[in-house]
């Protein structure tokens, strides 16, 4: 940067630089600077980089308070997730926040702990704070939750599911198809005796859809799944451990256990080891989400990879478009991936030793 520009940057780097000064340094119009700040995706990368360099050189700080007053926007977005204890939601939140910050929006985060009443309370708090938009997770919400958002007049969408309901835009994956594919893979290995450990909180429609996908694949293969082979669990490692032990006590002929989350599968793997069972020689175990730990387990976990980062980015882009009055699609299905690792193999040929509680 020329010395004259450096001295100017030093002199005015106090937060009071005007947009016209940025435009002058970047040799563009003030309107172009505004577009870079508010809609960077529509500006050519070379031009965007030129403006960004001028912004950094002059230490330019947009007057967000004035912009909010004129536009009646707070430049904040709220998200309510079921829990902050799992990396699959943390990854999505990080991607959402990163993309929003590129447009000078702040993200407010709340967790419902899989409690629909608490989710309603958090949504009301966010609307009372004047957020410009709201992101939810899944399709199972109280009617009052939808009513609270619609009454506020702000756009909202839901994530981690791809099927839109009640005219609410949805961005995510087809959870049912994902477990259908997982089950077909296990059937291809030769498995016919299945057990399921499912996260079944009332608000977890994603896990319910995953159970539907498993049952549909088994039905297509001519296999009936008795309800005794489905363990309803909460979202925890301990429930995964207890679920595996209970399944094998009920029916020791089971050779494959499908868990609707990686967290449950981690518990199942730990309990199998505690019971003296070898995975995958004695028992195949699968998860869902492909959290970072899944590849580091012993054995590494076969699972479905959830594109959480892409979901967060797409949610930000769609919601910001909706805030700006640009129509957005009702449904966006992102690709998932079956990740085959060492926790699955052909079914065992030996009989398991007697199980004890």
Closest CA to 196 of 208, 184, 205: 208
Confidence of residue 238 (pLDDT cuts 50, 70, 90): very high
Q: Do the Cβ atoms of 115 and 142 come closer than 8 Å? A: no
Report the CATH number of the 175-305 domain.
3.40.50.2300
Is residue 349 pLDDT above 80, yes or no? yes
- Report the pLDDT value the prediction gives residue 44, as an integer from 0 to 100: 87
Helix ranges restricted to H, 201-357: 205-220, 237-250, 262-274, 308-323
CATH 3.20.20.70 fits 74-173+308-335, yes or no: no
Confidence at residue 30, expressed as pLDDT on a 0 to 100 scale: 86
Listed by start position, the domains of the chain span 19-62, 74-173+308-335, 175-305
Label residue 72 by pLDDT band (50, 70, 90): low
Please tell me the pTM assigned to this model. 0.80
Q: How far apart are alpha carbons 80 and 298 in whole angstroms?
A: 33
Question: Does 19-62 carry CATH code 3.40.50.2300?
Answer: no
Q: Residue 80 in 3-state DSSP?
A: strand
pLDDT recorded at residue 27: 92
Looking at residue 10, its pLDDT comes to 40
Residues in Cβ contact with 101 at an 8 Å cutoff, skipping those fewer than 6 apart: 107
Collapsing DSSP states into helix, strand and coil, what is residue 342?
coil
When pLDDT is averaged across residues 93-114 and rounded to a whole number, the result is 96
- 1-54 tens-digit pLDDT: 444 444 344 433 444 788 889 999 999 998 888 888 877 777 888 888 898 899
Q: Are 225 and 194 in contact (CB under 8 A)?
A: yes
Q: Which residues, at least 6 apart from 167, have a Cβ–Cβ distance to it below 8 Å?
A: 330
Structure-block tokens of residue 129? 């704070």
Contact 266, 237 (CB under 8 A): yes
Q: Which of 141, 105, 103 is nearest to 120 (CA)?
A: 141
What is the rounded end-to-end Cα distance, in angstroms, of the chain? 73
C-alpha pair distances (Å), 183 with each of 79, 187, 247: 32, 6, 18
- Split at pLDDT 50, 70, 90, the class of 273 is very high
Fold equal for 74-173+308-335 and 175-305: yes
């Amino acid at each position: 940067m020329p010395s004259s520009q450096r001295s100017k940057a030093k002199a005015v780097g106090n937060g009071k630089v005007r947009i016209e000064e940025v435009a002058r340094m970047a040799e563009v119009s003030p309107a172009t600077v505004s577009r870079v700040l508010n809609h960077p995706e529509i500006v050519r990368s070379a031009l965007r980089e030129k403006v960004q360099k001028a912004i950094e050189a002059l230490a330019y700080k947009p007057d967000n308070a004035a912009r909010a007053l004129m536009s009646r926007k707070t430049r904040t977005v709220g998200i309510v997730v079921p829990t902050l204890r799992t990396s699959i939601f943390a990854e999505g939140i990080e991607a959402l926040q990163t993309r929003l910050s590129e447009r000078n929006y702040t993200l407010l985060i709340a967790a419902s702990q899989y409690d629909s009443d608490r989710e309603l309370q958090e949504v009301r708090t966010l609307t009372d704070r004047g957020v410009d938009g709201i992101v939810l997770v899944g399709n199972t919400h109280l009617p009052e939750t939808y009513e609270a958002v619609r009454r506020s007049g702000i756009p909202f969408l839901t994530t981690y599911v791809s099927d839109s309901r009640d005219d609410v835009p949805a961005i995510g994956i087809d959870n049912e198809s994902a477990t259908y594919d997982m089950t077909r893979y296990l059937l291809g290995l030769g498995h016919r005796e299945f057990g399921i450990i499912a996260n079944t909180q009332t608000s977890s429609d994603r896990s319910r859809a995953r159970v539907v996908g498993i049952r549909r694949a088994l039905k297509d293969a001519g296999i009936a799944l008795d309800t005794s082979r489905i363990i309803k669990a909460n979202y925890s490692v301990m429930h995964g451990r207890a679920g595996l032990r209970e399944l094998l006590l009920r029916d020791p002929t089971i050779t494959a256990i499908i868990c609707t989350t990686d967290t449950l599968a981690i518990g199942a793997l730990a309990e199998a080891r505690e019971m003296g069972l070898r995975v995958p020689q004695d028992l195949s175990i699968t998860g869902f989400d492909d959290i970072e730990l899944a590849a580091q387990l012993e054995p590494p976990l076969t699972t479905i990879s959830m594109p959480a980062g892409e979901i967060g980015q797409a949610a930000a882009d769609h919601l910001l478009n909706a805030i700006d009055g640009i129509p957005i699609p009702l449904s966006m299905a992102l690709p998932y991936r079956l990740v085959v690792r060492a926790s699955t193999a052909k079914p065992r040929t030996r009989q398991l030793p007697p199980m004890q509680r």
